Structure 1
């Protein structure tokens, strides 16, 4: 499930994805992806996600509510084939978890896409053991052997205070590197994605897993050395595991509204999506942004492909239908904007969080989906730019 917002300036993080198509092997491998020399001697390396996703445009993927809608049903409703889909799994995981991943992989294979597997160690980072890693590798090998590329999002939003793996930079980096080493050595089509939460609201004071002053974690996160954790501390760098083990970088980006407390149905400000990526978004509340330029520092400068694993726009269940449509439309139009492709050439994947679910932050049902209301689904289809529609047509024809 998605992370919980714990700060009065926290900018949402929940969703994933919906739309474009993907043809395995259609683009040249990125230098940041797993290289042939890292292949296991017992496996021939499959085209991984970096090679599988088109290099000339972002792919639109989906974070589906698997119990409500199949990928094929989404494609029928919206007219668009998702190029990627997200599945969540605990670590260690149960056989039921594994079966759910297999089912998701089957659907992804049927659409010719990539599976983004989000690994959640809810028992804490100490649950990342040799045994749990070995079980994970067995499952990844099985999925890759079925010719499904996997993006492994390990312990996402680790810079937040709402997860048991959060705000523990040293232990997180050790665990990430251990998992990445096994993935590179033993799988054939899996790549690692490092994906913190958008830093608005950092250090997310009051969360269950916020570090105590005087601890090693607190000192590591106090990047300006003033003895406090504040907005002036870097929300990303203490958690970065290293260029040698990161294939993709990513960030959860949402439109929850313009200010805390959340709950009102607000139109997204112009350029909000791109400003959040650049760290320049301040919002209608007038707060000055002090965030690093995530895109420049982690994607462009490091030559890493960028994914947005989760995005959507906040609309309550009782919102006026015309307003609900306009909020979502203004958000997806930012994501589909032609100039976004030229401004962010490393951006390769955007996932829409396609759930309607109860959110504790507002104690009510939030309709994040673009497919559960046919009027919104029709508008979504109408607004698709040519580069998405063409990708869809190619995928279907193939």
Structure 2
């Protein structure tokens, strides 16, 4: 492995063993999630004959990207196995500079996560790549605090100062799934998401937040592998969008987790889409691909 390994936490998946359609969707998600959060970085010019691929021109620094505007074209990058790979090797195999590199950390950040995040940002900075940073809560959503969010943004500000890093912060993805500890808890999720988003957007980190539900096919995922203990105790009142007194396939898979009252300043990244979407100026969702603040 070139460039040295990282003390990574693996592939960043929140789910255990999965099967059937869910397995296919996860494979698809791993392939397209970075693309849904990014613009394709222009391919680097061909290196002179005999030159090392490492001599290829780098991408524009992440600090130059305007994350407040929807991109004109998809971005492309990768979520790689940081325990066995590195950013430079990935770029060499790709034959282009990745616009975005992704991985997960636990939230709230622990000391190991802080170390890992610094290593991750350093490698991404060497490519000029954006960070696609997934936050996986290790506490109940209601126990997350504003201090946790401030600690996160403090680290992001430090990384921007040190490496010119910019981040797409994806908090608690697949929140509509039955396989995540934070899944199918709309009220608690929205409060926790807004807590993180408010801190991120008020900081000097130059970051934005990403709202990333699971694709709706199979919702409410009552027979999915990897069900959490809490999945059987979810609030019917919060999830019953059609008012028939039960949670079933006719309920909206996204709306309970999205209650924006102001235009969004974040990104949407459903697990099966070709490009990120934003809300309309009024804050109303377009189709089923939404952004939430």
TM-score normalized by the length of structure 1: 0.55
SS at match of 1:116: strand
Q: How many residue pairs are counted as aligned between the two chains?
A: 243
Alignment of 1:279-290 (within 5 A): none
Q: Quick one: distance in 1 between partners of 2:103 and 2:90?
A: 16
Alignment pair present for 1:153 and 2:170: yes
Show CA shifts across 1:308-352 (max 9, x none): xxxxxxxxxxxxxxxxxxxxxxxxxxxxxxxxxxxxxx9xxxxxx
Show CA shifts across 1:272-314 (max 9, x none): x67xx9xxxxxxxxxxxxxxxxx8xx6474699xxxxxxxxxx
Unaligned ranges ≥5, structure 1: 26-45, 254-272, 278-294, 305-345, 347-398
Q: Quick one: distance in 2 between partners of 1:102 and 1:112?
A: 15
Which of 81, 102, 106 is residue 118 of structure 2 equivalent to? 102
| Pair 66,6 (structure 1): closer, same or farther in 2 beyond 3 Å | closer
Which of 59, 68, 76 is residue 92 of structure 2 equivalent to? 76
Tell me whether 199-208 or 166-175 shows the greater mean CA deviation: 199-208
| Pair 248,67 (structure 1): closer, same or farther in 2 beyond 3 Å | same
Q: Quick one: distance in 2 between partners of 1:192 and 1:48?
A: 15
SS at match of 2:25: coil
Higher relative contact order (CA 8 A, sep 6+): 1
Q: Quick one: distance in 2 between partners of 1:237 and 1:47?
A: 34
Equivalence for 2:253:
235
Alignment pair present for 1:248 and 2:285: no
Unaligned ranges ≥5, structure 2: 1-11, 42-58, 284-288
Equivalence for 1:130:
146
Equivalence for 2:60:
23
User: By how many angstroms is 1:125 displaced?
Assistant: 0.8
Q: Quick one: distance in 2 between partners of 1:210 and 1:92?
A: 23
Equivalence for 1:265:
none
User: By how many angstroms is 1:231 displaced?
Assistant: 1.4
Note the aligned Cα RMSD (angstroms): 3.1
SS at match of 2:270: strand
SS at match of 1:151: strand
Contact 1:63-1:87 within 8 A present in 2 as well: yes
Which of 231, 256, 263 is residue 210 of structure 1 equivalent to? 231
Alignment pair present for 1:12 and 2:30: no
Contact 2:213-2:270 within 8 A present in 1 as well: yes
Which of 7, 13, 17 is residue 2 of structure 1 equivalent to? 13
Which protein is richer in strand relative to its size?
Answer: 1
User: By how many angstroms is 1:240 displaced?
Assistant: 1.3
User: By how many angstroms is 1:177 displaced?
Assistant: 0.8
Equivalence for 1:193:
210
Contact 1:109-1:148 within 8 A present in 2 as well: yes
